[in-house]
Amino acid sequence: MPKLGMEPIRRDALIKAAIVEIGQVGSLDVTVSRIAKRAGMSAALAHHYFGSKEQMFLATMRHVLSVYGAEVRGALAASETPQARLRALVLVSFSGSNFRREVVAAWLNFYVMAQRNAQAERLLRLYQARLRSNLRHALRPQVGARAASLADGAAAMIDGVYLYEALGTGEPNGARAVAQVMGWLDAALSAAE
């Protein structure tokens, strides 16, 4: 078995440290030095691996999206009905690994960064397109042509809950978030009948 080099291990440590530091500060005003210190290495080494704080944050969001994507794929593979697929998408959006204070703060900063950074904007658009596509696929058997508008509404609800929680205090409540979004979806689906 090949030996794993130090670079992937250090990059991963820096990404995890960035998530924690952004969560504690609540913004991108955290320094590379502070992130590197939390990861147990020098700021120079952090710059060596990422080049800039902006690139480190983009790598951090790619990691967040990778974790989210893996959970979505697993949940959808285990779902046998359109209703189960819809619920799985909402549950994963608010799971413990995706809906915790540090990750919510990273998302809020990612939304802001996407307004001025082309790479972040592209990454955000890819996430949004995939979420809407998955939601449309789950909704189409239930509401036909209305699937697109309901998927847009559900995606807006999910993003809105993240924005709401970013302004809150304490740990985000995933069960409450799932109940809010599923309540909206249930009402929208009932109205469509």
The pLDDT tens digits of the residues spanning 137-182 come to 999 999 999 999 999 999 999 999 998 888 887 789 999 999 999 9
User: Is pLDDT at 193 greater than 70 in this prediction?
Assistant: no
What DSSP string runs through the chain?
Answer: -PPPPHHHHHHHHHHHHHHHHHHHHSSTT--HHHHHHHHTS-HHHHHHHHSSHHHHHHHHHHHHHHHHHHHHHHHHHT--SHHHHHHHHHHHHTSTTTSSHHHHHHHHHHHHHTTT-HHHHHHHHHHHHHHHHHHHHHHHHHHGGGHHHHHHHHHHHHHHHHHHHHTS-S---HHHHHHHHHHHHHHHHHHH-
Q: Which residue has the tokens 């440290």?
A: 17
The Cα 71–Cα 48 span in angstroms is 31
**Residue 23: band (very low, low, confident or very high) from pLDDT cuts 50, 70, 90:** confident
> Token pair for residue 91?
């549950």
Q: Looking at residue 26, what is its pLDDT?
A: 79
Convert 45-78 to b/e letters by CB count within 10 Å (16 or more is b).
Answer: bbbebbeebeebbbbbbebbbeebeebbeebbee
What whole-number distance in Å separates Cα of residue 36 and Cα of residue 41? Answer: 5
pLDDT tens for each residue of 59-97 = 999 999 999 999 999 999 999 999 999 999 999 999 999
Q: Quick check: pTM over 0.85? A: yes
What per-residue confidence (pLDDT) applies to 131? 97
